[in-house]
């Protein structure tokens, strides 16, 4: 389902992988039971492959790692948050189109 360049993150390694990333990092907060999350999954995979080396693309299962989504006030999934240098650059909720995600990523490059 996910592209080969998508990294799974958890509460345990979120700070290391996302906040301390040398590149902008897009986090897809999702759950296996969420239909819109599954719908957006292939797009996340495409972006991970297209932006490999420039942007880190990650997925966090909110059921397995509830602390981080709680910290960022995530109430609905999928929610995608773009981080750069540990700070939130942009955030979107819902199964949005690829063009909207590309525009979001471009803000951080």
Instruction: Spell out the domain ranges in the chain.
Output: 6-106
Is there a contact between 31 and 61 (Cβ–Cβ < 8 Å)? yes
pLDDT at residue 4, rounded to an integer: 85
Note the pLDDT tens digit of each residue in 67-87.
999 999 999 999 999 999 999
Note the pLDDT tens digit of each residue in 44-59.
999 999 999 999 999 9
CATH code at 6-106: 3.40.30.10
Q: List the structure tokens of 47.
A: 């972006």
Residue bearing the bigger pLDDT, 1 or 17:
17
* DSSP 8-state symbol, 17: I
How many CB atoms within 10 Å of residue 96? 16
Q: List the structure tokens of 76.
A: 């609905």
**What is the enclosing helix (H) or strand (E) of 104?**
helix 98-106
Enzyme catalytic residues:
34, 37
pLDDT surpasses 50 at 65: yes
Question: Whole-angstrom Cα distance, residue 47 to residue 27?
Answer: 12
Specify the residue for token string 């992988």: 17
């Amino acid at each position: 389902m996910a592209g080969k360049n998508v990294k799974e993150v958890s509460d345990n390694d979120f700070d290391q992988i996302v906040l301390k990333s040398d590149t902008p990092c897009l986090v897809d907060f999702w759950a296996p039971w969420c239909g819109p999350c599954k719908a957006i999954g292939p797009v996340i995979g495409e972006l991970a492959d297209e932006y490999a080396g420039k942007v880190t693309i990650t997925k966090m299962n909110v059921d397995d790692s509830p602390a981080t989504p709680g910290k960022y006030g995530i109430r609905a999934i999928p929610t995608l948050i773009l981080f750069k240098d540990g700070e939130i650059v942009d955030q979107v909720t819902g199964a949005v189109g690829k063009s909207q995600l590309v525009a979001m990523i471009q803000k951080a490059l």
